[in-house]
Each structure stands twice: as structure tokens, then as C-alpha cells.
Amino acid sequence: MGPAKFMRAAALVLAAVASAMVSAEAEGRQEVSREMVKSTLASRRAGMNLTITLNTLGGRAELGPEALGANGLEGEENLCDPNVGQVAGYLTLAEQNKHYFFWFFESRNKPESDPVAVWLTGGPGCSGMVGLFNELGPCKVNKDGASTHLNPNSWNANANMVFIDQPGETGFSYGDGDIDEAGVSMDLYIFITEFMKKFDKYSGNDFYTVGESYGGHYVPAFANRIFNENKDRAEGVPHINLKGFGVGNGLTDPVEQYKYYAQMAFNSTTAPSRVSERVYHNMVRQTSTCIDLIAECNTKKHPRFKCQLALMECNQMLVVPYTSTGYNVYDMRVKCEVPPLCYDFSEVDKYLNSARVQKYLGVQKKWESCNMQVNQQMSGDFERRYQQLVPPMLEAGIRGLIYAGDCDYICNWLGNRAWTMKLPWSGQDGFNDAGEKPWMVGDSEAGKARSHGPFTFLQVYQAGHMVPLDQPEAAKAMFETFISGGSFP
């Protein structure tokens, strides 16, 4: 999620959930999704060949500075960063009628040995191109919506970056969607293993996945899928050298995170107070009801309607009081200027929907930052907890970074800090006892870090939901510390 990644502007939330409330058909889709995952896993472990193809535009099977652009149309200038190899295309999962669009950029430093990192934008239903062009990609779109300029703070400075439009109809992708993390994580696992088979020059490189907002669901599920599948791979399926996972301003443990909305709205200590004391006390009174609903969603059977009810009721109790003030749910310092997503990224919309760029990319679909239909399809997954997937990876020494801009409301730093401290793992006491220490970027204090062993929580000063947008230099330094194995305090 992110600006163009609506974790929900109130009215849309309620309308979306109401229209998506459970039906027998929705429950049936959930069962089909589970069976598809089981079938896919069984096929891979039996060594069967799946009808999955990775199509790179223009037939570019090799990367390097000579592979400029997406498909190298004669006479066409490079769309984004002319100094690195890049490939755009579709991963096609024919059995599932899924066609995932991706855009890959080599590292500006040492692509042959630098890590590979997959970026997952949230929503659910928001395009990876939002992260690419508005936050951390190699270039940004100019105000004319017709050209780009290099981003000096791009995360591909020392990493090979992959941006994906997922699930389903998100961005330039098309075909069937997913409704839960079982489907999402399976599709992403297929993507990365097929990518590494196609471009095996990277197959031994360290691998990281990082995401934002609803990436708090996607990233733990995807990383944990890799972690488990590495133990029991089918013949011919590459080992993914998973080294770490990161989540920025994410929704990972709703049971803990929803407890902090009232405090964030009234007295966060890092952002302006946006509700009255009376509204604050009313929010506090309703919080326990909300938490009970989310807990019921997370029971063993967790029927979708219980989760959708929790989403609708909790947002009515704890999100609507804030959004009704007119302030940006993603940045408490400013008004929501362009409802419902609050930010104006119209130049990216113009750029990606131009005939020239679409011809160059080989796509024939109108691009939109976020797809509300995809968002609705995932409504039964929204209040599910995914923090329980983190401890096994930490115990294995895989690095985890949870970071949060401290001016975001919807996935605020208070709730994110709370769930990391509640997380049961062998290092929990050490993590909690570590305290928070200044995090320096150059000569400036950019935030506070709490670290122990492979796990870090990072509060980023004066940043909203999209940390790389608001604090680009600090975000780049954070990412490079993370992938290099450095320490934060």
C-alpha cells in the first residue's frame, strides 16, 4: 500500500467491504485457491514440468548495458536509467490464467554479485510501478508525464531490483486474482524460481524481499514460502538464497496494531494530534470490541465473513474518526489533497498509459495505480495475522527489518513497534532489552533503532507511509545497511 496503495480511505473501505461481503461463491474461490496451491506444490515436488513461461520482451535473454530499455525498439530512447541492463515482461502461469507483469533493473554497481531484491507494493491491488516511479526505482517521471529523470537515491545502487504487479489484475498484470496469502505466496515463489532459472547468472546471489503497507502480509508469506520450499524442492527448481525480508509501514499483526490507532490519532508524540479528547476516549472504548472481532477472524476456521466483518467494523470505529478530519491517512502532517488516495501521481498515470511507453513495454492494458476489484477480492485476508511466520526465519539467522515512518497513521510506527516487541522467538528478551538507540545517516539522526541478532525495528523520523518518498536519502542508507549485513544503532 502507499498513497496509491489505499489501506483505506474511510468511505471506500466501507463500500468495498459491503459489496464484497461473503457469499457461497467467495468461500468456493477460497477452497479452489487452497486446492490450486496444494496441486502446484505436489506437481513441483514430483518433478513435473508446469506450463509456466517467462517472456522477456524482444527476446532479450541476456542482460547488461547493451540490453537497454525493455525491448530495445530501434530509435527509442531508454525509458528508465540508460546505464543499466533491464528487462520487462510477463511471467505466465497458464494453468491459473495469470500473467504477471514485472520490470527488472540491474544494479548500478556489481550486478553479477550484488543481491537480487523483489519489491512488493501493497494495497492490496496496487502496482509495483508505484514503488518504482514514486519511491525507490532508478528513475522518476517528470511533471510533463512524458519523460523521466534519474533517481540518485534508487535502491538499485547496489542491488538488482525486481518490481512486480501482483496479484491478478493489478497494474499491467491480467488474469485470475488471488484471495489470500496462500495463493499470493505460491505465485511469487513460482515467479522467483522461474526468474532464477531464466537468468541463472543471479541464481547464487543473495536474495531479499521488501514491501510496504499490505506488504506486511505479502512479505512474511512470500519469504516464509521460500524458506520452507528451499527445504523440499523439486528437481530442477533452484534454491533461493534468502538472506532477509523487510516491511515498511506494514500491516502484519492486526491484533496488536489496531490497539494503537487511538493513541496515534491523539498523542503520538511524533505527529500532530488530529482528534479531540472526546473522540480519542470514544476510540479507546471501542478498541477492545475491534480486537475481539479481529481475534475471531483469526480462529482456526476463520470464515471469510468474520474477517470482512472485522475489517468493516474496525475501520468504522478506528479509521473513520481520523479520515473524517480531512487529513491524509498516510501522512498526518498534511491534508488529503486528492481523495481517496490523497497523493497526486497523475504524471505516472499519464506516462504509463501513453501509446509510446505501452508499445515499448509490450502491454495493451490501461494502467492504474490501484485496482479496487483486487482490493475487494482480498478483503477476507485483510485482518489475518502473519507475524507468526517470522520467528522460524529469525531462528535460522535470516535478517528481518521492520521500519516505519513516524508520521503515518494507517500503519503507524506505534503499532509496528508493539508487534515486534510481542513477537515470541528466542531473541525476544534480548530484543526488548536492547532499547532504542539513535540511527545516524551521515551526521544526522534519522531515526531510532532497536536491534538484536537478525531482527531490527526502525522508526524513521518525519516520514509518512512511503518512507522512500519522504526521506529518500535515509531510505537508501537503510536499505543498503540491511542488504550489506550492517548494524543500525
Inter-residue contact 175 to 121 (CB < 8 Å): no
Whose cell is 538484536? That residue is: 452
List, as one string, the DSSP characters of 397-409: T-EEEEEEETT-S
Count CB atoms within 10 A of the CB of residue 362.
18
Judge whether 465 counts as a catalytic residue. Answer: yes
Alpha carbon distance 268, 369 (integer Å): 30
Of 173, 213, 268, 451, the catalytic one is 213
174 phi and psi angles, rounded to 5 deg: -150, 165
The DSSP letter of residue 338 is B
Count CB atoms within 10 A of the CB of residue 368.
18
Which residues have C-beta within 8 Å of that of residue 477, sequence separation ≥ 6?
441, 442, 446
Amino acid sitting at position 441: V
Angle between the N-to-C axes of helices 215-229 and 181-198, in degrees from 0 to 180, rounded to the nearest 10: 60
Helix H, strand E, coil C: the string for 257-289 is: HHHHHHHHHHHCCCCCCCCCHHHHHHHHHHHHH
Helix (H, G, I), strand (E, B) or coil at 465: coil
Alpha carbon distance 118, 84 (integer Å): 17
Of 99, 217, 302, 465, the catalytic one is 465
Judge whether 408 counts as a catalytic residue. Answer: yes
Q: Which helix (H) or strand (E) holds 98?
A: strand 98-105
Judge whether 451 counts as a catalytic residue. Answer: no
Of 178, 206, 406, 408, the catalytic one is 408
Which residues have C-beta within 8 Å of that of residue 302, sequence separation ≥ 6?
384
Amino acid sitting at position 224: N
100 phi and psi angles, rounded to 5 deg: -95, 120
Active site residues: 213, 408, 465
